[in-house]
Amino acid sequence: MLDQEGTKKNAVSFLIAEYNEIAQETRRLRQEGITRLNFFITITSSFLAVLVFLSQSKATLGVSFQIAAVGVLLLLLLIGLDTFDHSIRRDVYTDFNVRAMARIRCFFATQSPEIKQYLTWQYHDEPTLWVTRNNSNVRKTVQYIISSICALTVGLMINLIGANPIISTIVGGVVLVVAFIGFRGYASKRFKQASIDAEKSTRFPIECVQIGEVK
């Protein structure tokens, strides 16, 4: 049987290992978001470059080319939507991980109050800015791109049914604005729900941590 000191030492070692695992997973998650964004930008720019190049030839400006272009844009949109959804989940899971690490910091801050003044990161587990005021550049970039793809797709489809370029451009512009607002609203709704869920699972609120009531 371990004595109390040995048990505490094992608990500390376990928490440190747990902290490192969570930190490593958070880094992996953040990097995966960047990798997905770079892939999406690369494949989108490549496809669009090919479409622009082919459109320079009069032989490819017919209905078949436009239908093919719509198909390519729809494929890009599917990839973009998946990337967009991942960018949201990435920040929600980051919030979860940051709060999990904060609980471990809270343990050490409670055991050794003198270290509190040296802690840079939070040691309460209330919702973080990742969900309360999300301003992720990765998400916003994907949001801009897929909104533009929606506008291009609808513009081409309107053009296919015989509308003149001016009408296609106007409709595309409207779709761009509506899509951007819609995607932003969807993301805000997801983050709001994540913030509510985080509040429900809060164990060490900031008020208790600040006045030392954490047991």
What pLDDT was estimated at residue 201?
92
Judged against a pLDDT cut of 80, whether residue 189 lies above it is answered with: yes
Q: What percent of the chain has pLDDT over 70?
A: 92
Domain that holds residue 146: 4-211
Q: What percent of the chain has pLDDT over 90?
A: 64
Give the pLDDT confidence of 108-139 residue by residue, as tens digits. 998 888 888 888 888 899 999 999 999 999 99
Measured over the CA atoms of residue 40, residue 43, residue 46 and residue 47, the dihedral's sign is negative
What pLDDT was estimated at residue 76?
96
Give the pLDDT confidence of 31-40 residue by residue, as tens digits. 999 999 999 9
Structurally, the chain folds into a number of domains equal to 1
The CB density around residue 122, as the number of other CB atoms within 10 Å, is 17
Angle made by CA atoms 208, 21, 19, in degrees to the nearest 5: 25
Give the pLDDT confidence of 153-174 residue by residue, as tens digits. 999 899 888 767 888 889 999 9
- Looking at per-residue pLDDT, the higher value among 208 and 99 belongs to 99
Q: Give the pLDDT band of residue 215 (cuts 50, 70, 90).
A: very low
Mean pLDDT across the chain? 89
Separation CA 170–CA 53 (nearest Å): 24
Nearest Cα neighbor of 149 from 45, 55, 32, 65 is 45
Give the pLDDT confidence of 44-78 residue by residue, as tens digits. 999 989 888 877 765 556 778 888 889 999 999 99
